A and B are shown apart, each in its own frame.
Chain A
Amino acid sequence: MKKTVLGGLCAILLSAVSTLAQAETIRIANHGQAGIDAMKSTVERIEKKYGVTVEVIEYPAPDKDYLTKLLTELGAGNAPDLFSIPTTAAVADMVEAGYLTPVTKALKAWDGYANLYDVAKELAVSPDGETYVMPFMLGIQEIYFRKDVLEKAGISTEQPKTWQELLDRAAEIKQKTGAYGLLFPAGVSWGSGAFDEGFQHLLVGSKTPQLVDADGKLDLNGEGIKDVFNVYKELIDKDLMPTQPLLGPEPWVVPKYQMFPAGKLAATTCGSWCYIFDWGRESKNPIPEVTKVVGTWTVPGESSGQYVLANLAAPWAVNSKSANTELAIKALMEIGSIETQVSYAARIGNIPASKDAAKNADFQKLTELVRIHAAAGNGVFLKQASGFGTVSEGVARATEALLRKETDAAGAQKILVDYVKETLGDDMVK
């Protein structure tokens, strides 16, 4: 009997010791070798500063698969303590699901907060007024075009001022060079990119530039949305945009990594990372002297205005079910350091959200990004709302129907509205 009691006590003691040991370990989800490398020095710093063990768990690289695994684990309650979120559109829904820990207080008390661009701070605030993510990197997107191809064909490289001018330029490119004139990511296979890297660019310059009304309802019947789909329709109907590759499983490969470097696609939306990874020094198919031969246009508004799109690039957040929330929040603040921002910029090509990053010697070496960083404060964005993840999927479905020439702009808008209503319920849509 004594032996049994003693054995039981030992088991309880062992379990308690193991729980205590686990509390001193934080688990971090990371995906893609570049992301893991970018975090290496930060992980070492966190371990040294707080005397903890950081366990880095490698997740699947494609954003879509990464998000699926992360959400499944969050739903099951066994996700890591800290993780990045691959698309800003997913944040509000994750907040609604109760997966994220609010960090407003800690973030505002953090010494790097004041130095963040306002656009980063605003993008980080969720519809409930709280902040749940560390907005340390920005994705700054514009239209990138082959200056050399256009100049050789005698086509103007001036900034187009309206959508019509942009479409006319794309038509002129097709007519004079035979190359596709313009690409907006579209279709289901592109995942959240159809929304983040395509649809949003045009919507911010449309007659109805936001998707959320004052009551927080999704306003998807606006005229602007139909006009945006009309731009897609014209590009597709006039064969100004490659469509067949966009229907395949990895739709970005052919247009971005093959056609654009070969000059068979003359303009596409892209982010600062394109100068480094898609066509620059880290590319498998680089364009020689990329910053000279590839120029940028801001995205023109429907009838006026010029827009540079800003997103939070893979913001990090703390699991609401973290075993050690306090420690995870401290680690989150370390991720926000300028050192980590520059490390990410060098390896991923996104833009540091801290203004002071410009003074960092390592960042100054990233000449492709310095100019973009200086102008990052001017970025525009869509006000976030819960249900954006569903809207993003609805846009992907609507643009896919356009790619397959199954519908017109009004039909595409109906696909979007119907999908969101069916998924979220009628009361979520205005």
Chain B
Amino acid sequence: MARNSHERRAERQWLLILLPSLVLLLAFVIYPAIYSIYLSFTNEALTGAAALRPRFVGLRNYTRLFNDAKFWNSLFVTFVFVIGSAVVGQFALGLISAIALRRPIRFRRVFSSIILLPNAAPEVVAGFMWISMLAGGDNATLSRIVSTFGITPADWLQVFPLSMIIVVNTWRGIATAMILLTAGLSTIPAEIYEAARMDGATPSQMFRRITLPLMMPTILLYMLISAVSTIAVFGLVYALTRGGPGGATEVVSIYIYNQSFTSFQLGYGAAVAVVALVISLVLGIAYVRAMKVEV
């Protein structure tokens, strides 16, 4: 059926409204992504002859990357970091906080504010704050705490570097998890719990049979946002360890930075960034597909 002039005008208006967003998206997301893909096929560098006369090197950066043990190490470290801090730490503690704060407890607002506090500090400031807590020496906060229990103080960022950055990132992400999961919890009608209680369901059964299944779309949405944003975490890890000791915390974002801005190999850094982008895309598609599954 032919569209009338009113529909066409409405469509043009919609396009006009969307135009600024489209332009911004093109300028700051699509174009940089395409340019990164182009860079990944060159030997572009920040210094040396390649900075003056970059040339096309075909798949050389990708061949190098797949044979680079440090790259694989960074992927492994990122995987553990995402599972540890986003999937397990932030999700579990965020869900516990959301459920706990849903109940009528005293000082609920105070607790909510405390949980939201980690997001008030900028990433790098939070990193430096945690350095003072986790540093070596008898005066560091954690060392002083553990020594009261008779445990030998340590330089925590040296001895347990990956575990420590997982703890710090978990601390920082609980608030986001809690907010999202609280929103999910609020969509579950109270009547369902009431009916279940009348049928004799235990709290554990209600959690497994009602809360979790009905929360699944929210949980998957949270997982998507959390996993992708954790892959991109940079400032916190850079402030805490700079990827050390010995690459133990060199997540993929730090690896990209090190290749591009410490070794000054922009082409190779771009190749790593493209691979990281592909991984994030695959993850995103997987979650989006999972979210379509009926609960």
Q: Which residues of A are in contact with B by a Cβ distance under 8 Å?
A: 64, 68, 71-72, 74-75, 90, 93-94, 96-99, 187-189, 191, 244-245, 247-249, 254, 386-387, 389-390, 393, 400, 403-404, 422-425
Contact A98-B244, Cβ < 8 Å, known A68-B261, A71-B46, A248-B157: no
B92 to chain A, nearest CB (A): 29
Q: Which residues of B are in contact with A by a Cβ distance under 8 Å?
A: 43, 45-49, 51-52, 64, 136, 155, 157-158, 240-242, 244-247, 261-265, 268
Chain A residues whose C-beta falls within 8 Å of the C-beta of B265 in the assembled complex: 423
Compute how far the CA of A249 lies from the CA of B130 in the bound complex, rounded to whole angstroms.
14
Q: Which of B47, B157, B247 contacts A71 (CB 8 A)?
A: B47
Contact A98-B245, Cβ < 8 Å, known A68-B261, A244-B158: no
Question: Is the CB–CB distance between A248 and B244 below 8 Å?
Answer: yes
Provide a sorted-by-A list of 25 A–B residue pairs whose CB atoms are within 8 angstroms.
A68-B262, A68-B264, A96-B47, A96-B48, A96-B51, A97-B47, A97-B48, A97-B52, A98-B51, A187-B246, A188-B244, A189-B244, A191-B262, A244-B155, A247-B245, A248-B155, A248-B157, A248-B241, A248-B245, A249-B244, A386-B49, A389-B47, A400-B246, A404-B246, A425-B43
Compute how far the CA of A390 lies from the CA of B46 in the bound complex, rounded to whole angstroms.
12
Chain B residues whose C-beta falls within 8 Å of the C-beta of A72 in the assembled complex: 46, 261
Chain A residues whose C-beta falls within 8 Å of the C-beta of B241 in the assembled complex: 248-249
Chain B residues whose C-beta falls within 8 Å of the C-beta of A386 in the assembled complex: 48-49
A188 to chain B, nearest CB (A): 7
Contact A96-B46, Cβ < 8 Å, known A247-B246, A422-B64: no
Question: Is the CB–CB distance between A97 and B158 below 8 Å?
Answer: no
Considering residues B51, B246, B265, which has the most beta carbons from chain A within 10 angstroms of its beta carbon?
B246
Closest to A403 in B: B246
Question: Is the CB–CB distance between B264 and A389 below 8 Å?
Answer: yes
The 10 A-B pairs of least Cβ separation, nearest first, read A247-B245, A97-B51, A249-B242, A93-B48, A93-B47, A71-B46, A96-B49, A98-B52, A247-B246, A68-B261
B128 to chain A, nearest CB (A): 11
Compute how far the CA of A254 lies from the CA of B52 in the bound complex, rounded to whole angstroms.
40
Chain A residues whose C-beta falls within 8 Å of the C-beta of B268 in the assembled complex: 423
B45 to chain A, nearest CB (A): 8
Compute how far the CA of A167 lies from the CA of B48 in the bound complex, rounded to whole angstroms.
37
Q: Count contacts between A and B, CB distance < 8 Å.
A: 77
Question: Is the CB–CB distance between B48 and A387 below 8 Å?
Answer: yes
Compute how far the CA of A387 lies from the CA of B155 in the bound complex, rounded to whole angstroms.
37
Chain A residues whose C-beta falls within 8 Å of the C-beta of B240 in the assembled complex: 249
Question: Is the CB–CB distance between A247 and B244 below 8 Å?
Answer: yes
Closest to B48 in A: A93
Compute how far the CA of A386 lies from the CA of B51 in the bound complex, rounded to whole angstroms.
12
Considering residues A75, A188, A389, which has the most beta carbons from chain B within 10 angstroms of its beta carbon?
A188
B280 to chain A, nearest CB (A): 24
Compute how far the CA of A325 lies from the CA of B268 in the bound complex, rounded to whole angstroms.
34
Question: Is the CB–CB distance between B262 and A393 below 8 Å?
Answer: yes
Question: Is the CB–CB distance between A393 and B263 below 8 Å?
Answer: yes
Chain B residues whose C-beta falls within 8 Å of the C-beta of A187 in the assembled complex: 246
Compute how far the CA of A79 lies from the CA of B242 in the bound complex, rounded to whole angstroms.
26
Chain A residues whose C-beta falls within 8 Å of the C-beta of B48 in the assembled complex: 93, 96-97, 386-387, 389-390, 424
Chain A residues whose C-beta falls within 8 Å of the C-beta of B45 in the assembled complex: 97
Considering residues B157, B245, B263, B268, which has the most beta carbons from chain A within 10 angstroms of its beta carbon?
B245
Chain A residues whose C-beta falls within 8 Å of the C-beta of B264 in the assembled complex: 68, 71, 389
Compute how far the CA of A245 lies from the CA of B158 in the bound complex, rounded to whole angstroms.
8
B227 to chain A, nearest CB (A): 26
Question: Is the CB–CB distance between A390 and B261 below 8 Å?
Answer: no
Chain A residues whose C-beta falls within 8 Å of the C-beta of B247 in the assembled complex: 188
Chain A residues whose C-beta falls within 8 Å of the C-beta of B136 in the assembled complex: 254
Chain B residues whose C-beta falls within 8 Å of the C-beta of A64 in the assembled complex: 262
A191-B262, A389-B48, A424-B48 known; 5 new pairs, CB 8 Å cut-off, are A74-B46, A99-B47, A247-B245, A249-B241, A249-B244
Question: Is the CB–CB distance between A189 and B242 below 8 Å?
Answer: yes
Q: Which of B43, B51, B242, B244 contacts A75 (CB 8 A)?
A: B51
A246 to chain B, nearest CB (A): 8
Compute how far the CA of A94 lies from the CA of B265 in the bound complex, rounded to whole angstroms.
14
Compute how far the CA of A98 lies from the CA of B265 in the bound complex, rounded to whole angstroms.
17
Compute how far the CA of A393 lies from the CA of B46 in the bound complex, rounded to whole angstroms.
14
